[in-house]
Structure 1
């Protein structure tokens, strides 16, 4: 077996047998990869490892690759970032669950993508350290993730613009095809593009505005990536925020 060192972010887990699980990671060394973790659910010896594999938790590991098996394994694995608030704050853990599911549904490539990985890794740290603005974080994450997925807004914003979902452009007039964000949502989109993540609280949105903009954003994603419609944690977000 060939060994290698890497970093990863937990996207999803599946129970396997009585005491094992399959862990899906976004990794720096090979994009999305799956790992078999044996004995993680055992009450003897390795039970504490289960806490490592929560949605959006970061890992540093030594992996084992076998040409005879599709799934990789861990020789060693431990926490990548010491998280101070995310595991204990229900609002942040809800956002993390959504982020992990979005990435699990949308990212399928098994090739390294340094820009995507760095954005996701740093987003975990940003969410954990955020003092205010948690309610807007999932919106900021989706907007800025679109840059890495290839359909980020392609031009500058002017006051009163619509946003053409099909073309990915701000436009002064409502597009005839009807696939567009209205001027209010287009302005929020601009704000999310320009906002430093540490200043998210300064984008003053009420609950209805968040729900409406999330719906518009999911429509934008859905036009480009149909898999977004399978994300189930959207309903939980709408309840919490």
Structure 2
């Protein structure tokens, strides 16, 4: 079936000498993987390798057989040309990390318009603004809303956040916890928008510890989740 849909590129791997395997989150069908034959050698075709950088926003014309095999793309065009996401070193490190997190987290091969709209909005916001040091923390916490395990914020009076239960407790449990200085800043991130990120001040050590806990939160709630390899690069950039 031929479809025309928006798509956000997550990963792009070289296949052979001239081809790419691209994983993308589509507006129409959720997660899809495509084989782009000869795209690295073709200079006159409708597909260009530069379109398939991480988190590029495209409109594609694709053939979806929906048989669990690699699909194909006939045409592609960029819907939002980025000003800074792939040229600013900090933003580019964020892009690589977030693309890997998304690729490891989104598993559904079905339409999820709310999640697609969230990704569209946040990537446009990041492209237009200076990258706040806590952007990735808020991005990932908000992402859990669409993946089904956003923290229970009905009662935040507890001094401990139980990562396995996803709720605040007044007494510690044997499960992995967010506590101490981390819990104060964790609470500040819950429920705010990206424009308010400048009000959340954290140092490097605290930010890295919080990120470790947030990634562990994903591990505990997503079957088969893998830790991102790009985390070390992200930490180095933010030092």
Q: TM-score, normalised by structure 1?
A: 0.90
Give the distance between the partners of 1:183 and 1:38, measured in 2 at CA. Answer: 52
Please report how far the alpha carbon of residue 129 of structure 1 lies from its aligned counterpart in structure 2 after TM superposition: 1.3
Distance in structure 2 (CA, Å) of the matches to 1:69 and 1:189: 39
Matches of 1:88 and 1:184, distance apart in 2: 34
Cα shift at 1:35: 1.4
The question of whether the paired residues in 2 share the 8 Å contact of 1:130 and 1:198 is answered with no
| Alpha-carbon distance in 1 for matches of 2:55, 2:79 | 11
Check conservation: 1:161, 1:171, Cα contact below 8 A.
Answer: yes
What is the CA–CA distance in structure 2 between the aligned matches of 1:157 and 1:15, rounded to whole Å? Answer: 48
* Structure 1 partner of 2:214: 217
1:1-36 residue CA offsets vs partner (Å, 9 max, x unmatched): x32110111111121222111111001111100112
Aligned to 1:208: 205
Match of 1:40 in 2: 39
Gaps of 5+ in 1: none
Shift of 1:43: 5.7
Q: How many residues align?
A: 238
Given that 1:163 and 1:169 are in contact with CA atoms closer than 8 Å, whether structure 2 keeps it comes out as: yes
Select the structure that is richer in helix: 1
Q: How far, CA to CA, are the matches of 2:131 and 2:20 in structure 1?
A: 35
Report how far residue 113 of structure 1 moved. Answer: 1.3
Answer yes or no: is the 8 Å Cα contact 1:163–1:183 preserved in 2.
Answer: no
Measured after TM superposition, the shift of residue 163 of structure 1 is 0.6
Q: Which runs of 5+ in 2 are unaligned?
A: none
List aligned pairs for 1:58-137, cutoff 5 A. 58-66=57-65, 70-133=69-132, 135-137=133-135
Considering only aligned residues, what root-mean-square deviation do their CA atoms show, in Å? 2.1
Q: Secondary structure at the match of 2:69?
A: coil
Paired residue secondary structure (1:230)? coil
Whether the 8 Å contact between 1:143 and 1:189 is mirrored in structure 2 is no
